[in-house]
Amino acid sequence: MKRALKQTAYLPRILTLLYHRVDSWEADPWGICVSIEKFEEQIRFLKNNFNIISSDDLIKQVTNHSITQQDICITFDDGYADNFTNAKPILDKYKCPATFFISTAFIGSVIPFWWEELQIIFLHSIELPRKLLLEINGEKHSYTFDENKLTEKQRLLQKNWKWYESPPTDRCEIFLKIWSQLSVLQVEAIETHIENLRKWAGSTNIDNSPLPMNDHQLSDLAKNSLFTIAMHTHTHPDLKQKEIAYQTGELLTCKKTLKEKYGVDSNCLAYPFGRYDKNTIKAVRTLGIDVSFTTRPTNIYANSKRSILGRYQVFDESSTSLKNRLKL
Where does the chain have alpha helices with state H? 2-9, 36-49, 55-63, 81-82, 88-93, 114-119, 152-159, 170-182, 187-201, 215-223, 244-262, 278-286, 319-327
State pLDDT tens for residues 203-262.
666 556 899 999 999 999 999 999 999 999 999 999 999 999 999 999 999 999 999 999
Considering the domain architecture, whether residues 58 and 180 belong to the same structural domain is answered as: no
Considering the domain architecture, whether residues 62 and 123 belong to the same structural domain is answered as: no
Considering the domain architecture, whether residues 220 and 309 belong to the same structural domain is answered as: yes
What pTM was computed for the model?
0.94
Domain boundary among 179, 201, 223: 201
DSSP state of 111: S
Considering the domain architecture, whether residues 122 and 271 belong to the same structural domain is answered as: no
Considering the domain architecture, whether residues 101 and 234 belong to the same structural domain is answered as: yes
For residue 137, what pLDDT is reported? 87
Q: What percent of the chain has pLDDT over 70?
A: 95
Q: How far apart are CA 110 and CA 233, in angstroms?
A: 20
Considering the domain architecture, whether residues 106 and 180 belong to the same structural domain is answered as: no
26 falls in which pLDDT band (50, 70, 90)?
confident
Q: How far apart are CA 305 and CA 248, in angstroms?
A: 20
Domain boundary among 201, 218, 238: 201
Q: What is the DSSP string of 299-328?
A: -B-TTS-TTSB--EE--S--HHHHHHHHH-
State pLDDT tens for residues 80-125.
999 999 999 999 999 999 999 999 999 999 999 999 999 999 999 9
Mean pLDDT, the chain, rounded, equals: 93
Assigned domain for 3 exists: no
Assigned domain for 4 exists: no
Tally Cβ neighbours within 10 Å of residue 157: 16
Considering the domain architecture, whether residues 148 and 222 belong to the same structural domain is answered as: no
Tally Cβ neighbours within 10 Å of residue 306: 17
Assigned domain for 44 exists: yes
More confidently predicted of 179 and 8 = 179
Q: How far apart are CA 76 and CA 53, in angstroms?
A: 14
Q: How far apart are CA 282 and CA 287, in angstroms?
A: 9
4 pLDDT exceeds 70? no
Considering the domain architecture, whether residues 54 and 96 belong to the same structural domain is answered as: yes
Considering the domain architecture, whether residues 196 and 218 belong to the same structural domain is answered as: no
User: Which residue range is the domain that position 64 belongs to?
Assistant: 12-110+210-327
For residue 222, what pLDDT is reported? 97
Contact 107, 54 (CB under 8 A): no
Where does 50-151 have alpha helices with state H? 55-63, 81-82, 88-93, 114-119
Residue 18, domain CATH: 3.20.20.370
145 falls in which pLDDT band (50, 70, 90)?
very high
SS3 state of residue 35: coil
Tally Cβ neighbours within 10 Å of residue 23: 21
Considering the domain architecture, whether residues 96 and 221 belong to the same structural domain is answered as: yes
**Residue-wise over 115-135: b if at least 16 C-beta within 10 A, else e?**
bbbbbbbbbbbeebeeebebe
Q: What would the mean pLDDT of 318-325 be, rounded to a whole number? A: 94
SS3 state of residue 27: coil
1 pLDDT exceeds 50? no
Q: How far apart are CA 139 and CA 190, in angstroms?
A: 15
SS3 state of residue 102: strand
6 pLDDT exceeds 70? no
- Cα angle 23-27-31, degrees, rounded to a multiple of 5: 65
Considering the domain architecture, whether residues 235 and 305 belong to the same structural domain is answered as: yes
For residue 5, what pLDDT is reported? 44
Tally Cβ neighbours within 10 Å of residue 300: 24
For residue 203, what pLDDT is reported? 66
Total count of domains within the chain: 2
Q: What would the mean pLDDT of 23-39 be, rounded to a whole number? A: 95
More confidently predicted of 100 and 9 = 100
Domain boundary among 180, 201, 222: 201
SS3 state of residue 209: coil
10 falls in which pLDDT band (50, 70, 90)?
low
Assigned domain for 5 exists: no
SS3 state of residue 244: helix
Assigned domain for 289 exists: yes
Considering the domain architecture, whether residues 321 and 257 belong to the same structural domain is answered as: yes
Assigned domain for 2 exists: no
For residue 285, what pLDDT is reported? 94
